[in-house]
Amino acid sequence: MSVVKEAFGKTHDGKDVAAFVFENTNGVKVKIINYGATLVSVEVPNREGKRDDVVLGFEDMAGYESSKNPYFGACCGRYANRIARGKFTLDGVEYSLAVNNGPNALHGGWVGFDKQIWDAERVGNAVTMSLTSPAGEEGYPGTLKVNITYRLTDENELRIEYVAETDQRTVINLTNHSYFNLAGSGTILGHLAQINADRYTVVDGDSIPTGELREVAGTEMDFRASKMIGAEIGQTVGGYDHNYCINSAVEGELTFAAKVVDPESGRTLECLTTEPGIQLYSGNFLDHIQGKGGMIYNKQEGFCLETQHYPNSPNQPEFPSTELAPGDTYTQTCVYRFGIEE
């Protein structure tokens, strides 16, 4: 296992950005930058041994800072996904957040964790990135200190471990927003997906949960048995962008959440998490984005598996709580395990 630090350029205001390149004994190679604690690339072999990059992203900082960046590979926070009308009440106080997605708050606001430079330290075969979010940033209460540790194992697992503490009661929901394409290019509609969930959170026209947890059985939302992502996508409104309620999720314990297979290359991706939910997003809004190697990313050429608490949980008291109090510690582990099927 090796971890090498290298330069990744500068931000538009002249700040240096570092990259960390992991490589294991199986030839799996991962690159992460400290801008947005962003996963830039994952190179894995297919069944013939040909290595391709299976993560969408950009060549340089100009791409990651551009307005066309749809959160490629980034850590989203303080609150990943949506909060209705950008408002929530905690201990009798109403907080107003940045509204940056129609009428709602999305992925932490205008300058969320995805658009900040994190402190980064290599610790053995891992890299820990740290960020302090001051009280009031994007409208959230409390000073929040966050650490994310990235680790690549010789079992081809990319482990992402989150830890956070606050000095005032607040809400938190972190995720990694990588877009995967196990073929390396082209549509992901032929990928086979399985999701360990009997229910999902029904949403309204603004993608805000109504509070109903609906059974997937007999609907286009059913991925309990492996099926092509594109098999029933035409029955959705624009594609998949839904939170699934993971079966048998136990707080703090890793649970199998999803598996995706590309039949052509044989590449597989399993996702395990300690979170109660996972968002399947089928890249519905990718629109002629120029990415790495001169590639142009278009609609449904990448999929996301975003491990998380449910969207809008601060306004849905029956959902698993996203509140964090002083003296308590927020923890989350997400594992992306890559493999090959013959």
Phi, psi (rounded to 5 degrees) for 61:
-65, -30
Query: Cα separation of 12 and 155, whole Å?
Result: 38
| pLDDT confidence tier of residue 30, bands split at 50, 70 and 90 | very high
The boundaries of the domain holding residue 40 are: 2-340
| pTM for the full predicted model | 0.97
Catalytic residue, candidates 138, 275, 301, 306: 306
| pLDDT confidence tier of residue 88, bands split at 50, 70 and 90 | very high
CATH number, position 77? 2.70.98.10
Q: 138-185 pLDDT, tens per residue?
A: 999 999 999 999 999 999 999 999 999 999 999 999 999 999 999 999
Q: What is the pLDDT of residue 109?
A: 97
177 carries an active-site annotation: yes
306 carries an active-site annotation: yes
Catalytic residue, candidates 177, 191, 242, 309: 177
Q: What is the pLDDT of residue 121?
A: 96
Q: What is the pLDDT of residue 222?
A: 98
Q: 279-310 pLDDT, tens per residue?
A: 999 999 999 999 999 999 999 999 999 999 99
Number of domains in the chain: 1
Q: What is the pLDDT of residue 191?
A: 98
Indicate whether 105 pLDDT > 90: yes
Q: What is the pLDDT of residue 1?
A: 84
| pLDDT confidence tier of residue 251, bands split at 50, 70 and 90 | confident
